[in-house]
A and B are shown apart, each in its own frame.
Chain A
């Protein structure tokens, strides 16, 4: 696609939790063991009453403040699984919050850790098709609101955060190809079961996340390397042609295992889960921004983005970095 990433900004709530906080609530947890496996040392937690729309609004305001005219935004895609309401669409609330013009398309995408790649595919397609000139892909999650304090599988991993990415047209093919897929047979393995219309309304007060950690891990072990290999084949590239791999920052053990199976050079794999945690759909754009800020990604670099998780859903794409900061 003749589309490129023009800018990324992100917001992390200032409240954090570390291993000591987990230990206080759960004295029997072996925190060293948890941190060794997950790699996560600090997670960000949204305030009570602070929502995905609030966080996306703060990230977007930061991006727009850098001289992007609000009137120039043709679409707003909000990737979230923690919407403010079942309805209306959170993106509509965000459109109003940001003061974007009424002719701006705004809609939610209910995807998790694969969501940023899908957002790029959707936003890129709108631009490529001539339906839009530029727009925002917002990824914002407050999974912490779904997680019990005693949940040893999910609580040590998930973190709240939002990232906003500005897409615009480019003179060259900076975005794509894409490789995406779905296996809905795994839907029960990462789910908020007492939610939505499937459950009687009296039961939906307790919206707790359930993750079958071992089953989800097996999915990542098999499907993610396949997705990477398929994208390399589709694009006619080899691992040597890719300058950087930005995986969804699921956890240390998940990324270690993918890197091992693909035999990737460690120096090409960016990681920031240690100080940020797993921010679901926001994790890839946050990592991308950090990698650029740390000058690991430079203008002209070829970057592979790989998202995977809840659904099951996965997606990967190539980005030719055009120098955005």
Chain B
């Protein structure tokens, strides 16, 4: 499996949002980014699951991870980053 980096995860979050091409940083959350709603979050979950070979679907806490930091932490906690 290709090594996935933190910047790849940021790109996945950025791609899921409408409007597109927003600046996403480590401090981005669903509260301070336009369009990070529940539908966008589903897209983030699906795209993470794809790049991490179906392992993200087993991390139930991902459903409520509404910040980049939270997502990265869960990925690290589950030895995916």
User: Footprint of B on A, CB under 8 Å?
Assistant: 30, 33-34, 37, 152-153, 212-215, 217-218, 221-222, 253, 256-257, 260-261
Contacts and interface: CB of A to CB of B under 8 A. Distances in A.
B14 interface: no
A218 B54 CA distance: 12
B79 interface: no
B45 A214 contact: yes
A214 B42 CA distance: 6
Contacts of B74: none
B58 to A, nearest CB: 6
Given A33-B18, A221-B45, A253-B42, A214 B64 contact: yes
A222 B46 contact: no
Contacts of A217: 42, 45, 63
Contact of A37 (B42, B54, B60, B62): B42
A320 B54 CA distance: 31
Interface size on B, as a range, is 10 to 19
Contacts of A212: 63
Given A214-B63, A217-B63, A218-B45, A260 B38 contact: no
A34 B37 CA distance: 11
B70 to A, nearest CB: 13
- The 4 A-B residue pairs whose C-beta atoms are closest, nearest first, are A221-B57, A214-B63, A215-B63, A218-B63
Interface in B63-79: 63-64
Chain A CB within 10 A, most for which of B18, B42, B50:
B42
B26 interface: no
Contacts of B18: 30, 33
Contacts of A256: 46
A217 to B, nearest CB: 5
Contacts of B39: 33-34, 37
B72 to A, nearest CB: 18
Interface string B34-58: 0001110111011001100010011
A2 B60 CA distance: 40
Contacts of B58: 222
A253 B63 CA distance: 15
B49 A221 contact: yes
Given A215-B60, A221-B49, 16 more contacts: A30-B18, A153-B38, A212-B63, A213-B38, A214-B41, A214-B45, A215-B63, A217-B63, A218-B57, A221-B57, A222-B60, A253-B42, A253-B46, A257-B49, A260-B46, A261-B57
Contacts of B60: 215, 218, 222
B49 A214 contact: no
A155 to B, nearest CB: 13
A88 B64 CA distance: 40
Contacts of B37: 152
A164 B60 CA distance: 36
